[in-house]
Amino acid sequence: MAELTLMKNAAEQQLAAEWTAAKAKLPGAAPLRAAAFETFAKAGLPHRRVEEWKYTDLRALMREAKPLAVRPDAAAFATLGETDAGLGDLDARRIVIADGYLAPGWTDLNESDPGITIVELMAWLGEADLFRLNSIPDAARKDIAVSLNTAFMTGGVVIHVRKDACIERPIHLAHVFSGKTAAAIYPRSIVIVEPGARLMLIESHEGPDGIDYQANTALQIFAGDGAHVDHVKVTREGDTALHISSLMADVGAHARFNTFGYTTGGGVVRNQLFLRFGGEGTVANIRGATLLKGRQHADTTLVVDHAAAGCQSREVFKSVLDDESRGIFQGKIVVRPGAQKTDAKMASHALMLSDEAEADNKPELEIFADDVQCGHGATAGDLDEDLLFYLRARGIPSAEAEALLIQAFVGEAIEGVEHAGLREALIEAVQAWLKARG
C-alpha cells in the first residue's frame, strides 16, 4: 500500500517560502541549517499521529507561519526597558535577547569576570566548529521543532564557564518579543559549564498580549563532570503567542543538574526537555509548575535518558488548570542497557479547577537494565473537599482557602529552586496569578 502523501498546509508552505527567501542571508552553519530544514521538509509539521506530539497537534494549532522577525533597529532596542519577567528586584546579570537577536545595550557582558565569557552566538559560530551546535540528543535530533530552530536560528549567546569557576551571580537570559506585528523568532543559546564549575541560569520569555507571534527557542547546556547547574525557565509570553522551547542538556559524571520550568503565559506553549546523563553518579532534579486559564494550552514533554549507571533523577510536575485550559505532561524515563543502579522517580499531578479543563498525562518508562529502581505516579483531580472544609471551618473564606491549597500544591515543585530570592519571586508570581483569578 502506498505511503500516505502529506498535503502541505498553509503553515508548511509558508515555512518553505521563508526558507527559500532567507537561507542565503541566515548567518553561519549553512550545512547544518540545510540538513535540519530537510528533516522538516520530509516530515512536515508534527500532528497528532506523531506520538511525541499526540496532544499538541501543531498542524492544527499553527495555522500559518509568521514571517521571520528582523533585527530590531536601535530605536526598538531602546524601548526594551527593564525586562524583569515578573521576577521583581532579583539580582542577576541580565542578557537581553530581543526577537531572537542579542540586545547589546541591555546586556551586561562584564568582561572583567575571569570565570565566564559571553559571546554572541553567530560571532562564536564564526570561529568555532559546529560540533557543539550539532551535539544534541537523538530524540531531539528527530524533533521537528528543534530542526526548525536549527534551520532558522538568528542569534543568541554562548556562555562559557571555565573549569572549577563558581559564578555567584545568576545569569538571566531574558527573551523578549518587541515587534508591533506578528513575527516568528528563533533564538538559540549554548551554555558550556566546564567540569567542577557552578552556574545558576534563569531563562525568561515574554511578549505583549494580543499579538499572535511565534517563538521557537532552543537552549543547549553542556554540564561537565562534577559541574553544578541550576536552570529556571519562566514562560510568560503574550496571551495569543505560540511558544515552543527545547532544552537539550548533556550532563557529565557526578554532576548536579536542576531545572525548574514555570509557565503561565502564552496561548499555546510547548516545553520540551531532552536530558541525557552520560556519566555515573549524577543527581538531577527536574521540576515544573504550570498555571493555565482561559483557553491556554501547555504541553511539557520530557525525555530523561539515563545512559550511564548510578544516576538519580527526580521529576515533579504540577499543573493547575482553570476554565477551558488544557495541560499536558508527557515524561519518558529511558534506562539504557548497562545503566544499572539507576534511581528514577517521576510524578505528575494535575489539579482541575473547572469542568471544561482537560489534563492529559503520559508518564513512560523504557527500561533495558535490570538492577534499577524506577517509578512514576500520576494523578488528576480537583481540590480536596475535606481540606477545603477544614479551612473553611476555621473561618477562612472559600476563595482564600482555595488559593491556599493551590499555592501549597504548586509550592512542592517550586521548593526545589535552590536560589532563595528566585524562589520568593516565583511564589509571589503564583500569588499574583491566584489573585488575578479572583
Partner 1 sequence: MPAVQETVDQVRRIDVDQYKYGFETTISSEKAPKGLSEDTVRFISAKKDEPAWMLEWRLDAYRRWLTMREPQWARVKYGPIDYQDAYYYSAPTNFKAPKSLDDIDPEILKTYEKLGIPLREREALLGIVREPVEGEEGEAPRNRVAVDAVFDSVSVATTFKEELKRAGVIFMPISEALREHPELVRKYLGTVVPVSDNFFATLNAAVFSDGSFVYVPPGVRCPMELSTYFRINEKNTGQFERTLIIADKGAYVSYLEGCTAPTRDENQLHAAVVELIALDDAEIKYSTIQNWYPGDANGKGGVYNFVTKRGDCRGANSKISWTQLETGSAITWKYPSCILRGDGSRGEFYSIAISNGHQQVDSGTKMLHLGKNTTSRIISKGIAAGHSQNTYRGLVSSHRKAKGARNFTNCDSLLIGNKCGAHTVPYIEAKNSSTVFEHEATTSKISEDMLFYCRQRGLTAEEATALVVNGFVKDVLQQLPMEFAVEAQKLISVSLEGSVG
What is the contact surface with partner 1 in residues (CB under 8 A)?
Answer: 1, 51, 337-338, 340, 350, 352-382
Q: Measured from the CB atom, is 200 or 380 closer to partner 1? A: 380
Q: Give the shortest CB-367-to-partner 1 separation in angstroms.
A: 5
Q: Measured from the CB atom, is 1 or 75 closer to partner 1? A: 1
Q: Measured from the CB atom, is 354 or 398 closer to partner 1? A: 354
Q: Give the shortest CB-87-to-partner 1 separation in angstroms.
A: 31
Q: Give the shortest CB-350-to-partner 1 separation in angstroms.
A: 7
Q: Give the shortest CB-436-to-partner 1 separation in angstroms.
A: 20
Distance CA 79, CA 72 (A): 10
Distance CA 337, CA 237 (A): 40
Q: Measured from the CB atom, is 92 or 334 closer to partner 1? A: 334
Residue with cell 551586561: 108
Q: Measured from the CB atom, is 129 or 355 closer to partner 1? A: 355
Q: Give the shortest CB-297-to-partner 1 separation in angstroms.
A: 14
Which long-range contacts link 120-126 to residues 24+ away (Cβ below 8 Å)? Answer: 120/155, 120/156, 120/157, 120/158, 121/153, 121/155, 121/156, 121/157, 121/158, 121/188, 121/189, 121/190, 122/27, 122/28, 122/155, 124/158, 124/190, 125/27, 125/28, 125/29, 126/28
Q: Give the shortest CB-364-to-partner 1 separation in angstroms.
A: 5
Q: Give the shortest CB-319-to-partner 1 separation in angstroms.
A: 11
Q: Measured from the CB atom, is 164 or 358 closer to partner 1? A: 358
Residue with cell 553542556: 222
3-state helix, strand, coil in the chain (%, to 5): 25, 35, 40
Q: What is the DSSP string of 352-411?
A: E-STT-EEEEEEEEEE--SS-EEEEEEEEE---HHHHHHHHHTT--HHHHHHHHHHHHHH
Q: Measured from the CB atom, is 95 or 351 closer to partner 1? A: 351
Distance CA 125, CA 378 (A): 42
Furthest CA-CA distance within the chain = 68
